[in-house]
């Protein structure tokens, strides 16, 4: 049925186009990608800085480890380092880095250091130890290193006494050279 003339109804439901016959809506254009050169540059710079920091940390660790590792590269070097740590610095922990862990007889050298400390207390002096050239001699189980220790005491800048003693140190190769025995010669 037709609408009466002059009616304001323009369409009737039967005249509508079914939804399946409608043309699909036009796809929306892809939004234009905004240019972000600043973000890209900052990302690259942050990545480079992260890599540089990581490399710097690794290099720093390796250099620190090499600088602080005890030098046990040769028998005479380890004896020199042991004497410096034990008699000069009087640092048992540092000296232990150059000595055998389980076996070994370093009692004679411990006795010498105890004597030095006792003289300092008894006579109010400063007792120092020094040594001359270190001579290496190969033996069956490792090597021996001999040297002459000089033990001197002083008070108020004046030398009070000085003596020399020949010493022999037996060293073995175990994860680097280590001092295992010390004995006074003669």
Say which residue the tokens 């020199």 belong to.
80
pTM, full prediction: 0.67
Q: Is 170 helix (H, G, I), strand (E, B) or coil?
A: strand
User: Given pLDDT bands bounded at 50, 70 and 90, which one contains residue 64?
Assistant: confident
- Compute the C-alpha angle 93/85/174, nearest 5°: 70
What is the mean pLDDT of the segment spanning 5-21? Answer: 62
For residue 108, pLDDT over 80 is answered with yes
**Contacts of residue 133, Cβ cutoff 8 Å, sequence gap at least 6:** 147
> Quick one: pLDDT at residue 7?
61
DSSP states along 123-169:
HT-EEEEEE---EEEE-SSSEEEEEEEEEEEEETTEEEEEEEEEEEE
CB 179 within 8 A of CB 78: yes
């Amino acid at each position: 049925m037709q609408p009466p003339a002059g009616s304001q109804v323009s369409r009737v439901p039967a005249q509508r186009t079914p939804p399946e016959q409608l043309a699909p809506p036009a796809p929306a254009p892809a939004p234009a990608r905004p240019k972000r050169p600043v973000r890209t540059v900052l990302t690259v710079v942050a990545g480079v800085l992260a890599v540089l920091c990581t490399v710097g940390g690794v290099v720093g660790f390796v250099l620190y480890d090499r600088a602080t590792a005890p030098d046990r590269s040769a028998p005479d070097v380890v004896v020199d380092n042991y004497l410096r740590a034990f008699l000069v610095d009087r640092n048992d922990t540092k000296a232990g880095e150059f000595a055998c862990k389980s076996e070994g007889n370093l009692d004679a050298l411990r006795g010498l250091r105890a004597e030095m400390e006792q003289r300092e207390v008894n006579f109010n002096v400063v007792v120092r130890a020094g040594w001359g050239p270190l001579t290496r001699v190969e033996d069956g189980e490792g090597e021996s290193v001999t040297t002459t220790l000089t033990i001197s005491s002083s008070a108020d800048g004046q030398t009070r006494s000085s003596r020399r003693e020949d010493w022999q140190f037996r060293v073995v190769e175990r994860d680097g050279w280590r001092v295992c025995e010390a004995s006074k010669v003669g």
